[in-house]
Amino acid sequence: MNAGLDIEVPWTLHYSTGTLAQADQALVRDAARRVLRQKYRFKTATTSDGWSIKKPVSTLTGASIDNADHQALAEEMEIKSAVLLQNGTGDTPVPVLPLTAAAKNIAVVGPTETFSLASSSVPKSCMSEQRGPCTYNFATDPSLGDRGSARVNGDPAKSIGPFAGIQMTAGADRTVTTGNNVAAAMSADTIVVVVGYTPGDEGEEYAISEGGDRSSLSLPQGQNEFVTSVLNLMKPTVILIESGSIVDLPWLSHENKKQATVWAGYGGMRGGVALGKLIFGAANFTGKVPLAWPTQVELDKMPFKDNDPNGTRMGYFFGYREYDRRKAAGMNPALIYPFGHGLSYSTYKYSNVVVPCQADTAAKDAILDVTVDIENTSAVDGEEVAMLFIKPPAKPAGITGDRPVKELKSFAKVAVKAGQKVTAHLPVRIRDLRRWEGDENGKWVIDSGAYTILIGKDAADADAMANPPTVTVKGD
């Protein structure tokens, strides 16, 4: 309570009537006010249900969230966040996406899994408050992801899974079929295979003993074999991954190089339509992975759960910063994709990086308006996310503490029409270059020296930047 914890869920591990009675009652009253204020704000304070469950209501308009505008927003979110990881494999990949007019007979297939949840409305096998088992068909069921304590459900009548969405966007001159086995794809000329996790595999489903945390990048048992069996048909294949985080991708080395892989995440109630528009080219891919994508071998080197006697601890070097550290130490970490990876139907060329204050010393309260020109060198309109990383100066003599090789400090998304060029602005606040010095009694400081600016489409591209500019900062 003293540290500011207002509510303890899903279990009261520490709070009880007795413990709260011993706390500062002014703090208790303040915490209760904050909780009740939100309940009244969302119009749930006076409901009879103990979970305060009622039909979703917009706090701004009072209108139902389940309306055409919100459905369109859900679709837009999936279009802009789905990541095209791979588009053809081999030394000279031949793109599989977008699907052309040659894709006349498309099969959307995927395995079937069972799971248990506290509450779910989608898939339809989970229509009531039950523990399960529920049946999830990856090819047809909408991917809503984690249900957890938020009890996030959807209207089955308005939720659209991969098969239905692809069928809706395929056009009248194409035939789209579905099935939950490889045999259903035998007669198709193009295959879309959907794999991933159920809401019971990962996420905040607090009733499962594992706590919803995965200790492996492997897909559920049998799914990699399912993908391999589909690829063995040697037909153009699009692999859609429904997961909350990265998975192992063993099929990238398969002899069938006519394959594309999309990380769809959990697409929501309009995810199927969004994915249909993306694979047919009615929309362009702009999403990028918000993390580095290691192999399982590399991940096993990270401390996690059973392989860490001290328990899992998130240290300073984690994610791409940890892989940068290993690379700088000559360890050559095995990454499938760098931080920020994401392909598009467009191609881009970066040029003319402009950094202000290069002739002077930047003050601690300054904001640098760094710019870069981005040219769309393709015939397809697109949107590009430019990423700016900062490489700090060498550690000052006599000073302890960790330093990253580089850190993401700014990014910008710009729309660039085919054959056109735009200028992207990547503001950098000098105060964001601070680091923590000391222990829990330490302080934030800014080191003096030259900071190197790296810009690119992802972390690896930024590392390859030729003659990166620097800016000199007068620190503490």
Q: What is the pLDDT of residue 393?
A: 92
pTM: 0.87
pLDDT digits (tens, 9 = 90+) for 214-269: 778 899 999 999 999 999 999 999 999 999 999 999 999 999 999 999 999 999 99
Q: How far apart are CA 205 and CA 241, in angstroms?
A: 20
Higher-pLDDT residue of 324 and 314 is 324
Cα separations (Å) of 214 from 163, 210, 222?
27, 8, 17
Question: Is the predicted pLDDT of residue 29 greater than 80, yes or no?
Answer: yes
In percent, how much of the chain has pLDDT > 90?
Answer: 61
| pLDDT reading at 100 higher than 70 | yes
> What is the per-residue burial (b if ≥16 Cβ within 10 Å, else e) of 143-173?
bbbbbbeeebbbeeeebbbbbbbbbebbeee
Strand pairing report for 421-429 and 449-456: unpaired
CATH T-level topology, domain 68-279: Rossmann fold (3.40.50)
Average model confidence (pLDDT) for the chain?
87
Q: Which residue has the higher pLDDT, 397 or 1?
A: 1
Cβ(158)–Cβ(168) below 8 Å: no
Most confident range (mean pLDDT) of 82-86, 151-155, 198-202, 317-321 is: 82-86
Kindly tell me if the per-residue pLDDT of 147 is higher than 70: no
Distance CA 452, CA 473 (A): 11
Provide the residue count of the chain: 476
Per-residue pLDDT, 59: 46
Q: CA–CA separation, 263 vs 207, rounded Å? A: 27
The pLDDT tens digits for 336-388 are 999 999 999 999 999 999 998 777 888 888 899 999 999 999 999 999 999 99
pLDDT tens column, 285-312: 999 999 999 988 887 777 665 555 665 5
Share of the chain above pLDDT 70, in %: 86
φ, ψ at 213 (rounded to 5°): -95, 130
Q: What are the boundaries of each domain within the chain? A: 1-54, 68-279, 293-334, 348-473
How many Å apart are CA 5 and CA 20, to the nearest integer? Answer: 12
| Helix, strand, or coil (residue 19) | helix
Nearest to 114 by CA among 245, 263, 221: 221
71, 140 Cβ separation under 8 angstroms: no
Domain 348-473 part of CATH 2.60.120.260: no
